[in-house]
Chain A
Amino acid sequence: MATPAARLRTDVALPEQRGGAVGLKRMLGSDYRLGFIFVSPMVVLVLALVAYPFCYAIYLSMTQKFVGMPPVFVGLENYIRLASDGFFQRAVVNSFVFTFASVVGKLGLGMLMALVLTSQIRFRSLFTGLLLIPWVAPTVVSALNFLWIYDGSLGVLNYLLVKVFRILPQGVGWLSEPGTAMASVIFVNIWRGFPFFGISFLAGMKSIPAEMYEAASVDGANVLQRFRHVTLPGIRNILIIVILLSTIWTFNDFAIVYILTKGGPGGATQVLPVFAYEMAFGAQRLGEAIAVALYMLPGLAFVIILLARYMRRGQAR
């Protein structure tokens, strides 16, 4: 496998190597000593903070565990009980609605943002910077801002719609009415996430050579045709990566729903991460709460593996 260059590097790095060392190197790789030293903190960290908790989670999900008490093994009982639990079923449906609508919304606004920022406008980098702010600002702050904007009696949204534009006869309890709560929460998630879509698409569009557009124009393609046949194929990989990444993040978003509604009113915005939190720290049923989280696992694992393949391909380029 070793190319001449790699062999040269090995010889240069350690001129004093002897027979035994050569054998070890053939087995463990030419830079194994420094390599092992350099990755060991990371390996310890991943084992302690991700791998171990993950395995422990699988075990705990098969127990009945209350805070401060030893777990009692119950097999798949938690999973079976959850499957017929109406609140859980509702949270599953809500999670899918929340994720799907959010991702579609972010895709649309993100594309709009990227197209605006690639057209002939002045102060482009200033506007790019401003449009990215929701993505950098703390999620909790944004959620609190919208909690205040949506406020039923003193909120500015009702003020605008009722007093200024006179679209509505009276104020709406955006977050307290089942009919509007989900849409209101989804809007905040879109608001926070679309700049990431926009900036990623923008980077992708910048890497498309201008000649491609010129050639398409010469062939008589109009704006829409150029978008359809030059822009979209050009950012295809980024499009897939961003959608998958955002699907993971949105499905697991906790802060926005927790702060705005805590899953209410009456479970109308209950999503799985908040449901798991309330089961663990409200009802103190840790085993079942982890089972809630782990129900997401097969789907999540599928998306992660798919995404990892695309991202590695992106980095290799």
Chain B
Amino acid sequence: MSKSAIERLQTGIAYGFLSILLLLVLFPFYWMTITSFKNEDQMRSLVSMFWPSPAVLENYYQLLTKTDFTIWFRNSAVVAVSSTLLATAIGTIGAYALARLRFLGRAFLSSTVLITYLVPPAILFIPLYAQIRTLGLSDSLAGLIATYPSFTVPFVTWLLMGYFESIPVELEEAAMIDGATRFRAFRVIILPLAAPGLLAAGLYAFTQAWNEFLYALVFITDVKQRTLPVGISGFITGDVYGWGYLMAGAVLTTLPVILVYIYLQKYMVEGLTAGGVKG
């Protein structure tokens, strides 16, 4: 075989595997979406499996008017936005200090942040539950807003430490030679330069908080205080599953994350490794 034939064969094989992977990855989302537009008769009779016929909006109507979905959506938004702002603020200054400032305990703290990021919620959820109860924060969104930083702060800090380190230190030094204090150099020079990193870190934290399940399941028992993941998964506890409106709920729960993701995608390919592997 000639060299170009081998290359063509390789490319052909690559496209073959790519198609399989795409089918595997996208089918569940395709299935979720078309299910949300099917009516119950169609679902039960197994006709026109792969396209809704007729396409109806009754699942969405039922979801938005007959369930607590809108309340859960609001709860999720409140919890995710508040805990993200909190985590980004704490993480930004913490990361700057760990990346740039010289003080006793810096190396120890850097290790602690990383180890904290790696400690899984499965170890912490029961004692945190006891703590939340003692503080009277169970069954309230405040309990979630207060505890979500336990995983978002280490993550944001670790991510931003790398980001701050990539900004040339000479910029701050120049500002300080001109008489600026360290804090002023941070606020005026570094923060604006780090803005894209802050935004990316914040949006990552947002999706983590939006997707969180275990703490929300454990700390909240009042139906009206649930967040989306716990709320929609509660639809399956009955014997008769309303698959149509459950999938409608799944679509609407996924949408905000996908929108964030489309915006973030350019950071993702390089950034996710920074976010996941490096930080």
- Which residues 106-159 of A have a CB within 8 angstroms of B? 109, 112-113, 115-116, 119-121, 125, 127-149, 151, 154, 156, 159
**B11 contact from A53, A121, A136, A147, Cβ within 8 A:** A121
1/0 contact trace for B8-37 toward A, CB 8 Å?
001100110110011011101101100100
Contacts of A266 in B (CB 8 A): none
Are A109 and B21 interface neighbours, CB within 8 A?
yes
**B118 contact from A38, A141, A196, A304, Cβ within 8 A:** A304
Are A49 and B233 interface neighbours, CB within 8 A?
no
Q: Does B79 contact A (CB under 8 A)?
A: no
Are B261 and A125 interface neighbours, CB within 8 A?
no
Decide: A116 near B93, CB < 8 A? Known: A39-B109, A42-B113, A129-B265: no
Q: How far is the CA of A129 from the CA of B11 in the complex (A)?
A: 20
Are B182 and A13 interface neighbours, CB within 8 A?
yes
Q: How far is the CA of A144 from the CA of B182 in the complex (A)?
A: 50
- Which residues 250-279 of B have a CB within 8 angstroms of A? 250, 253-254, 257-258, 261-262, 265, 268-270, 272-273, 276-279
Q: Does A52 contact B (CB under 8 A)?
A: yes
Are A133 and B26 interface neighbours, CB within 8 A?
yes
11 A-B pairs, CB-CB below 8 angstroms?
A: A53-B124, A121-B15, A125-B265, A131-B25, A132-B272, A133-B29, A138-B253, A199-B268, A203-B277, A204-B273, A293-B122
Are B277 and A9 interface neighbours, CB within 8 A?
no
Q: Does B211 contact A (CB under 8 A)?
A: yes
A residues at B contact (CB < 8 Å): 6, 8-9, 12-13, 27-32, 34-39, 41-43, 45-46, 49-50, 52-54, 56-57, 60, 67, 109, 112-113, 115-116, 119-121, 125, 127-149, 151, 154, 156, 159, 163, 191, 195-196, 199-200, 202-204, 223, 238, 241-242, 245, 248-249, 251-252, 254-255, 258-259, 272-273, 276-277, 280-281, 286, 289-290, 293-294, 296-297, 300, 304-305, 307-308, 311-312, 314-315
Q: How far is the CA of A38 from the CA of B210 in the complex (A)?
A: 27
CB distance from A105 to the nearest CB of B (A): 12
B residues at A contact (CB < 8 Å): 7, 10-11, 14-15, 17-18, 21-22, 24-26, 28-29, 31-32, 35, 43-44, 46, 49, 89-91, 93-94, 96-98, 100-104, 106, 109-116, 118-131, 133, 146-147, 149-150, 153-154, 157, 161-162, 165, 173, 176-177, 181-183, 186, 207, 210-211, 213-214, 217-218, 228-230, 232-233, 236, 243, 246-247, 250, 253-254, 257-258, 261-262, 265, 268-270, 272-273, 276-279
